[in-house]
Amino acid sequence: MGNVVVVGAQWGDEGKGKLVDWLSEQADTVVRFQGGHNAGHTLVIGENVYKLSLLPSGVVRPGKLGIIGNGVVLDPYALAAEIDRLAKQGVIITRDNLRVAENAALILSVHRELDGLRESGPVGTTIGTTKRGIGPAYEDKVGRRAIRLMDLAEPEALPARVERLLLHHNALRRGAGLPEFEAKAIIKELMDIAPRVLPFMDVVWRLMDEERRAGKRILFEGAQGALLDVDHGTYPYVTSSNTVAGQAATGSGVGPGQVGYVLGIAKAYTTRVGEGPFPTELHDEIGERIGVRGHEFGTVTGRKRRCGWFDAVLVRQTVRTSGIHGIALTKLDILDGFDEIKICTGYRLDGKDIDYLPASQAQQARVEAIYETFKGWEGVTGGARSWKDLPAQAIKYVRRIEELIGAPVALVSTSPERDDTILVQNPFEA
């Protein structure tokens, strides 16, 4: 097939940036297909460190085409700011290396304010969003009142579309005792940014078909993780889009048969940002040690991540819901030097053993992790580039993960450096 989809196999922050960069070097086209600027990738290329939120990872490499698909909700001001930041690092973004779907829904100030209002609510009512307006923008998209990128090219029709949007938002603001938005302010907000983003607009579904017919290698780049999927994640503590691999087709305008190899990214342990269930979370010195060694702070928000042991139950579930062909196991080196390492192999719910995470929020809160304990390894995995460089016990740990999740490990990442990778199977050549 020659195409690859990259999805996070946990709650995000799995280290997709390094792997996507490694794959983007082999790809011709890199496509973002969901989410917004609430998720970030950190790319380390030589001496340069790039932090991307909206832009596909391929844009930092010459000769690659980056595409922001229709499944993304686009903050045009955030896009312009990210383009400006990269320009200061010597990466120039033009229509030659970036296209944006004309039917991508936009994030406006009304969405950011509503998101912030909800997240500042009473304890127990928040879900830990990044307050960037992603959820409210998706709500408007589904409610058929969104302003889309193509609308900026039709200023004469924009007032009616903005009035339709504000009919909903101003009702919410009146209920909260807040002043209403004025249409002219929103229109100005849009018209001021239009010249910066309209040059990138394209009919992406047609462009994708042209790329496919030309035999181009396409990399579909997912943001966040499959356990944050609005349908298949730990609802309601999820994001507002579908993050599983199937969204790669819907969010970019290609048929499901064009998706190709699905690579899931998973840490050798588990982390989570924000609220929600976390069966293997560690509230002790070990959890703190993992967080410090792994530099577990969000790329976009800087928020400290919760840390715990590897949860094979959840990754196995993701393997099935995303149709994952192989796993890239990252941050194995963070576990160097531990006397004991644990893997969650199942759950106990109300005295009964189960092998999946239930959809019920109440049941998710009650599950208890069942662990298998491994002896830790002596020696260092950091910087390993072949199996022979790994301690025998580390290899045993990786092999046990493969057995438990029902998928082979295609790559093992042993440091943030792109070359510190053990390649078992190249997804583009599978």
Instruction: Kindly state the tokens that stand for 37.
Output: 């600027």
How many alpha carbons lie under 13 Å from residue 315 in its C-beta half-sphere? 35
Q: Name the strand (E) or helix (H) holding 394.
A: helix 392-405
Length of the chain: 430
- Is 202 among the residues known to form the active site? no
Question: Considering all CA atoms of the chain, what is the largest pairwise distance in Å, rounded to the nearest integer?
Answer: 68
Among candidate residues 128, 109, 126, 119, the one with its CA nearest the CA of residue 169: 109
Contact 183, 166 (CB under 8 A): yes
Burial of 380 (0-12, 13-18, 19+ CB in 10 A): middle
- Is 28 among the residues known to form the active site? no
* Alpha carbon distance 406, 120 (integer Å): 41
DSSP code string of 323-344 = T-SEEEEE-GGGGTT-SEEEEE
* Alpha carbon distance 238, 245 (integer Å): 16
Any idea which residue has 């010249």 for tokens?
A: 195
* Alpha carbon distance 55, 45 (integer Å): 16
* Alpha carbon distance 319, 340 (integer Å): 26
- Kindly name the residue from 21, 37, 41, 140 that is annotated as catalytic: 41
* Alpha carbon distance 265, 410 (integer Å): 10
Q: Name the strand (E) or helix (H) holding 310.
A: strand 310-311
Catalytic residues: 13, 41
